[in-house]
């Protein structure tokens, strides 16, 4: 007698449901979301004020960042892996000005979206993506903390923006698997 395979759905544990899907816990996600959003907004705003990030000397700061990252590729246990160093050296450094603007405006947009609670899960995803790239480039700083918090915001996407614009937008827009009221008309 063999094993029969079919559609099996494993239910969410009560704790996960409470933390990630119950609006009674939305207050915690508000605090975390605003903290992470503020961190991104301030980082991007500082870059926006600097001509080496955005302006006449755009790309200079990111070239310095890349030089530092590429210096971390040596030794028995390098901070930056060879494949990522190849990406930084072969692609990012060739488009430093564009990446300089993308990082600056990306940080600002992620920060604003998280603070306002609009497209919260998507904003946290893009913030996580930036943090992962900073970590792969050998920069620790607050990146592990922000990455950790954003991964949890992604898990709590249904309620993380409850005290924000998502509360009003989600019923109208819906999700990719369930269109909202706006798309039913």
Q: What is the pLDDT of residues 41-68, one digit of tens each?
A: 999 999 999 999 999 999 999 999 999 9
The answer as to whether 184 is a domain residue is no
C-alpha span between 106 and 130 (Å, rounded) = 9
The answer as to whether 49 is a domain residue is yes
Closest to 46 (Cα-Cα) out of 92, 108, 95, 90: 108
The answer as to whether 179 is a domain residue is no
Instruction: Taking residues 135-140, report their average pLDDT.
Output: 94
* pLDDT of res. 177: 83
Task: Give tens-digit pLDDT for 24-47.
Answer: 999 999 999 999 999 999 999 999
Q: In this model, does residue 185 exceed pLDDT 80?
A: no
Instruction: Taking residues 1-7, report their average pLDDT.
Output: 71
Q: In this model, does residue 1 exceed pLDDT 60?
A: no
Q: Is 2 left (phi over 0), alpha (psi -120 to 50) or beta?
A: beta
The answer as to whether 8 is a domain residue is no
* pLDDT of res. 181: 87
C-alpha span between 9 and 137 (Å, rounded) = 39
Structural domain count of the chain: 1
Task: Give tens-digit pLDDT for 142-153.
Answer: 999 999 999 999
* pLDDT of res. 5: 76
- What is the pTM for the complete model shown? 0.90
Structure tokens belonging to residue 141: 């700083």
**What band does 184 get if pLDDT is binned at 50, 70 and 90?**
confident
For tokens 């990252």, name the residue: 69
The answer as to whether 140 is a domain residue is yes
Q: Which residues of 110-149 are buried (b: 16+ CB within 10 A; e: fewer)?
A: bbebbbbbbbbbebbbbbbebbebbbbbbbeeebeebbeb
Q: In this structure, is the dihedral angle defined by the CA atoms of residues 129, 56, 47 and 68, taken in order, positive or negative? A: positive
The answer as to whether 174 is a domain residue is no
Structure tokens belonging to residue 146: 């922000």
Domain enclosing residue 130, as ranges: 28-166
Q: In this structure, is the dihedral angle defined by the CA atoms of residues 16, 176, 146 and 37, taken in order, positive or negative? A: negative
* pLDDT of res. 2: 64
Q: In this model, does residue 4 exceed pLDDT 90?
A: no
The answer as to whether 180 is a domain residue is no
The answer as to whether 185 is a domain residue is no
């Amino acid at each position: 007698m063999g094993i029969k395979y079919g559609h099996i759905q494993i239910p969410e544990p009560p704790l996960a449901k409470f933390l990630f899907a119950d609006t009674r816990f939305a207050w915690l996600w508000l605090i975390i979301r605003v903290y992470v959003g503020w961190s991104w907004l301030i980082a991007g705003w500082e870059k926006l004020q600097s001509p080496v990030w955005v302006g006449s000397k755009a790309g200079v700061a990111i070239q310095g960042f890349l030089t530092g990252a590429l210096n971390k590729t040596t030794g028995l246990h390098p901070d930056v892996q060879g494949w990522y160093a190849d990406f930084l050296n072969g692609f990012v450094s060739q488009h430093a000005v564009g990446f300089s603007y993308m990082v600056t405006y990306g940080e600002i947009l992620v920060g604003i979206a998280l603070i306002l609670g609009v497209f919260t899960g998507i904003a946290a995803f893009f913030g996580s993506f930036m943090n992962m790239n900073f970590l792969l480039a050998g920069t620790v700083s607050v990146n592990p903390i922000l990455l950790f918090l954003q991964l949890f915001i992604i898990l709590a996407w249904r309620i993380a923006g409850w005290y924000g614009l998502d509360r009003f937008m989600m019923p109208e827009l819906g999700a990719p698997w369930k269109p909202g009221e706006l798309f039913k008309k």
